[in-house]
Structure 1
């Protein structure tokens, strides 16, 4: 396994724990000890979640974060069975969130490299913002797929006059 893959899995573990309500709640969901879950949440600890814990946490938050990383490592991508729900997403709101997070990511990287050194802590900060951007992009792409499948839809644009 490559280091990059392991860093992706560790980042997905951290995101999954966060989306399930933090370490304490992940302990309740998985039945593992607080120290064990803490090691999964620590980017510097090599411990990886067992499949049962991954499944329980992904089911709890409804987001297959680690499963998606595993699929991507095999050149695959997951599909969202609730894609129809995305058709209700406002095109402008979805685009605005992607653009906001793009700006936040650009700023985070600029701050991280401004002193000429990119530390592991700064890399973790960049990764957190990138994960949020990745989620927003995924939501925008799912919405676009539904729009294509339906042959188009209103973009909820309104003309404002004085």
Structure 2
């Protein structure tokens, strides 16, 4: 697979995730003033259409998630920083860890079923890619909550044994 094909698949996956975060095809169409058909093409992994920059900017601003921009930065050897990272509290560490593990289990189950016959179809690869994207997003949130705890110099876990008074 060439670099351009890899790049295209990554951007298409980021577009799909961005449309989902924006509330789906219909809402993304309303926000960007593009037709539902056009947004549907952006959302379709098999369609070559990519979002124009104006649509990326509008949807990323609406969702607060620079998904396409992050992929573009990564392709160019860069990373984006998250200004909200320091605002995340210790309380979210447990929730984000649980969410990351849930997505890990979903990906493992889905991919295990896909490879059971020693063949991975395009649709199975697409499902696995979506599950992997969700897991990456969950792990990113978990890492951000850990960074907040580290920035605060640590934090007492706040755990207790059930039954203790």
User: What is the distance in 2 between the residues matched to 1:89 and 1:59?
Assistant: 26
User: What is the distance in 2 between the residues matched to 1:156 and 1:5?
Assistant: 43
Are the equivalent residues in 1 in contact too, given 2:90–2:155 (CA < 8 A)? no
Match of 1:138 in 2: 140
In structure 2, list runs of 5 or more residues that go unmatched.
none
Query: SS in structure 1 opposite 2:23?
Result: coil
Are the equivalent residues in 2 in contact too, given 1:90–1:155 (CA < 8 A)? no
Query: SS in structure 1 opposite 2:158?
Result: coil
Alignment CA distance shift 1:38-1:85 (3 Å): same
Indicate whether 1:68 and 2:70 are aligned. Answer: yes
Match of 2:128 in 1: 126
Which of these residues, 130, 137, 162, is aligned with residue 160 of structure 1?
Answer: 162
Match of 1:79 in 2: 81
Q: CA deviation at 1:157?
A: 1.4
State the TM-score, normalizing by the size of structure 2.
0.91
The 5 A counterparts of 1:1-162 are 1-161=3-163
State the TM-score, normalizing by the size of structure 1.
0.93
Deviating beyond 4 angstroms after TM superposition, the runs of 4 or more aligned structure 1 residues are none
In structure 1, list runs of 5 or more residues that go unmatched.
none
CA RMSD of aligned residues (A): 1.5
User: What is the distance in 1 between the residues matched to 2:158 and 2:120?
Assistant: 42
Are the equivalent residues in 2 in contact too, given 1:91–1:155 (CA < 8 A)? no
Q: Number of matched residues?
A: 162
Q: CA deviation at 1:16?
A: 0.7
